[in-house]
Structure formats: C-alpha cells, structure tokens
Structure 1
Amino acid sequence: MPAPSPRTHRGRPPRTTRRELEVIAMKLFAEYGFDEVTVERIAAAAGVSERTFFRYFPSKTEVLWHQFDNEVADLRDAFAAVPDDEPMMAAVRRIVVAANRYRPEDIPELRTRMRLVSGVPALSAGAGAHYDAWERAVGEFAARRLGTDPADLIPLAVGRTTLAAARAAFDAWLERGDTPLTDYLDRALRALERGFVPE
C-alpha cells in the first residue's frame, strides 16, 4: 500500500489504535525487556496518555495476548462452519493450521511474542486463562460432533491434547525455524490425529 501524502491536520490528532499501541509495546519489550518497560513508557512512546492505553488493554501483560485471543474467536467461527462429513480431528488440524498462517513480515513479531511469553515468569503465569479459552474452543467443537457435554472426558481430552500438540509445534519451530510454522503444526496434529502411530 503506498504511503499517504503529507497533509496538514487541524483539531485533534488521529486517535491511536489498539494495533499501533501493540506494535509500539512489542518494539519496546524486544529492545529493553518486558520487566523494564512500563505502561507510562509505552504511552509516552505512542504519544498518548496512560488512560488511553488502559482503554485498550487492562495491563501491559494483555498486550501480548491480544492476537491470541482474536485467534480463539476465529477458531470458534471456523469450527461452526465445518461440513458434517469432515472427520473431527481432520477438521481440527485443518482449522488450527489455517489460523496460524502468518505473512513473512509478521514472523519477527511472532517470534518476539513467543519468546516473551515463554521466558517472562509474569507472562507464563498469566497464560492459563488464554490457553483455557483456546482449549475450550476445540473441546466444544468435539462435544458437538460427539453429541456430548463439553465437560465430558473425551471433549476435554481432545481440547487439551490438541493444545499440547500445538504448543509442542510452536516450541520446536521457535527453536529450529527451518520450515514454516504451519509445517510443524500440520506434522504434530497429523500425528495426534492418527494416535501417534508412525506413518
């Protein structure tokens, strides 16, 4: 997209968006470390007040989870549209892989985000609620397919094992990164789909 031509603005400046705040915060976290960056510092770098920051994010920790939470909503929409004749675990694999296709220019930010989440104790400690929501999205789809309650054993197992396989794929990709993330996810979820029996 071409850059906009310079214009003279009158009145109030354009409002900072959630995404702009997120990008600024991520750059600061990557450069200075998560613990060293305050909300005040993020807001100052964005040219907004701390109050504006808190309109978008309840804390600086939540900046790291914004995109992940959007993915959960996308998963739910995708599961709602799965054809009845598609096998359950094949659908889970297809949808999870599709939800994690990133543009090449977005990969550095994704790597930064993942390293922060895995390496900063405060972020790791707060991960549970976000992972639970992702797991529930998968488990509720499984429950609908199986005609059972989401709290029953098998839907819970489907949600939790899918999350575990996906996290393993992310960790392996972050460590090696020799092929796209989707390759790692597809391999891990195919293995889960067939019960880890060798091909």
Structure 2
Amino acid sequence: MTNRGSARGRPRRSSRLEIEQRAIGLFLRDGYSSTSIEAIAVACGISKTTYFRYYGSKSELVWWVFDEYIRATEDALNSADLELPVMAAIRQAVMEATGGVADDEGTWMKRFELLDTTPELRDGEAAHWQAWGEAISRYVAARTGSRATDVVPAAVGGALQAAYLAGFRESSATGESSTQTLARLDATFALISQPLQAWINFEQAHSALMGRHPLVGSTAGPWEIESSDGISPRPRSHNQQGS
C-alpha cells in the first residue's frame, strides 16, 4: 500500500473500507474496466480529490487490503510460538490474519469473486498469492533449516495457498457468512495439517543429520523472516528486539 506522506495524514481504515465496499459492488455489477474512478466517487458521495487521498489508482483500491493481509500473515508468523508444531503455528497465524480482514459485510469474499471474473486483475492476483505463499514457505524453511525454495517449504506454501483459495471459492459459491467461511477454512487446514506436518518432521530430521539448525522451541530467540534470498531467517539483534 502506498504511503501518501505525513502532511495529509493516513486515511482512516474504516473510510477506506466503506469506499471499497461500494466500489467492489460497482465492479461486480458493471465490470472493472467499465467503472471509472469518477463513478466510484459519485457512488460514495465524495470528490475525485478525496478519492485520491485514499488511493493512488483504481487498482490500489482492489489490492490495499490484500497487501495488509500479507503483512498481517507475516507478522503473525514472526510472533508464532516456536513450541508449536510448524503446521499448528501456520494454521493459527493464517486464521488470525484472515479474521482481521474477513469483514461481516463480505467484502473480502466478494474480492475473490471479482478476481475470478476480471481478466485484467489476474496478473496482480497471481503476484499477491505468490507473495502470500512465499511467506508461508519462508516460515517452513526457518523451522526446518532449509531454503524457502527447497521442495518441502515450497510445496507446503503451494498446498496451503491452493487449499485457502479452494475453501474461499466454495464459500463464495454457497453464500456463506464470514464466520462460516472462517470455520470452513480452519477445518480445511486441520485436515491437511497432519500429512504436511509428517513431511515437515522428516525435513527437520534430515536437516539435523546434515548439521543445519532450524528454529525450534525455546532454543531460538526472537527472529524475523529473511525475505531477500529465501534462506533461513536470522535472529534479531538486541536493538531490534527492543523496538
């Protein structure tokens, strides 16, 4: 999400959501390409100038919550309890992050319907889901002492991405509420966690034999995901821990 600078301040999240709800409704009704920023502004009762205080473009309106969601997932993984099995920690982190964006009005759900029916948004959708899956893969790599691009971390990230999308699309098709959708997603993750955890356990054991040191239990300090090269994360410095 683009930072507009401190002079004007950061727009209220609630106002952003109100505009987003109206806009996505217009996109679904009239088509993304056919809906202008001016039409969105009129529907929301604001000026185009006000619109641009919140968003730098039409596409940013679609992506800003997705960007927040990816960051929330990364934050939840960063703070996950290392005593938990890897899949339990991921499941908890994903549910926490999803609960923060799955609004009662169903806007988060409608976004999936929009993305699935709008070809011009497909590239952006693929890039965002890749970023989300890579966050999962980096966490698995950290916990297994491997690289995010190795088979197990990459496969776990891909499997969870596929399960997440399948669950949300099924919920969207059946008109489930946000609460029902979250329950479905949690049940789906619970179902696939056992076989994935068994695979992760094997990778952890292999790393131990190879002399690699995954982050496990109380032996590891606070850490942060190393996103630049996919290598297992580094511990934070004392200054970082205090920030």
Both structures adopt the same fold (TM-score exceeding 0.5): yes
Amino acid at match of 1:185: L
CA distance in 2, matches of 1:103, 1:138: 18
Please tell me whether the aligned partners of residues 100 and 181 of structure 1 are also in contact (alpha carbons under 8 angstroms).
Answer: no
SS at match of 2:47: coil
What are the residue-to-residue correspondences of 1:60-99 with 2, within 5 Å? 60-99=58-97
Q: Indicate the residue corresponding to 1:157 in structure 2.
A: 155
- CA-to-partner distance for each residue in 1:31-69, whole Å, 9 max, x for gaps? 43323201232244453236x545543432232222111
CA distance in 2, matches of 1:145, 1:126: 29
Higher RCO (CA-CA < 8 Å; seq separation 6+): 2
**1:171 positional shift:** 1.2
Please tell me whether the aligned partners of residues 138 and 153 of structure 2 are also in contact (alpha carbons under 8 angstroms).
Answer: yes
SS at match of 1:188: helix
How many equivalent pairs are there? 181
The 10-residue stretch of structure 1 (62-71 or 161-170) with the greater mean CA deviation from structure 2:
62-71
Q: Indicate the residue corresponding to 2:184 in structure 1.
A: 184
**1:18 positional shift:** 3.8
**1:177 positional shift:** 4.0
What are the residue-to-residue correspondences of 1:1-199 with 2, within 5 Å? 18-45=16-43, 46-49=45-48, 53-54=51-52, 56-101=54-99, 106-178=104-176, 180-195=180-195
TM-score, structure 2 length as denominator? 0.65
**1:109 positional shift:** 2.0
- CA-to-partner distance for each residue in 1:114-162, whole Å, 9 max, x for gaps? 2111111112232111111111111111111111222222211111111
CA distance in 2, matches of 1:65, 1:162: 20
Amino acid at match of 2:194: R
Seq. identity, %: 31
Structure 1 residues without counterparts, runs of 5 or longer: 1-14
Change over 3 Å in CA distance of 1:18–1:102 after alignment to 2: closer
CA distance in 1, matches of 2:135, 2:28: 30
